[in-house]
Amino acid sequence: MIACDLCALDCGKQPFTLETPHGTLNFCCEGCRGIYQMLNEINAPPAQPVQTMAPATERKKP
């Protein structure tokens, strides 16, 4: 038996999992997982600032 990391209920055979920096957590339902995400502000894909690179080719004046 796997206990829900939010409400401690039985997660059943297929728990809802959530990858966190501290490990994988298990939840009994999508609602519990969503609440935990909201409380801890966990974003599935780590947000990274997008940096656009300067164009490599520069036009040279003749």
Positions that interact with Zn ion (CB under 5 A): 4, 6-7, 9, 28, 32
30 contact partners, CB below 8 Å, separation of at least 6: 16
Closer residue to Zn ion (CB): 10 or 49: 10
Report, in Å, the least distance between residue 29 CB and Zn ion.
6
Closest separation in Å from C-beta 57 to Zn ion: 55
Closest CB 7 distance from Zn ion, rounded Å: 4
* Closer of 22 and 61 to Zn ion (Cβ): 22
Cβ contacts of residue 12 below 8 Å, gap of 6+?
Answer: 2, 28
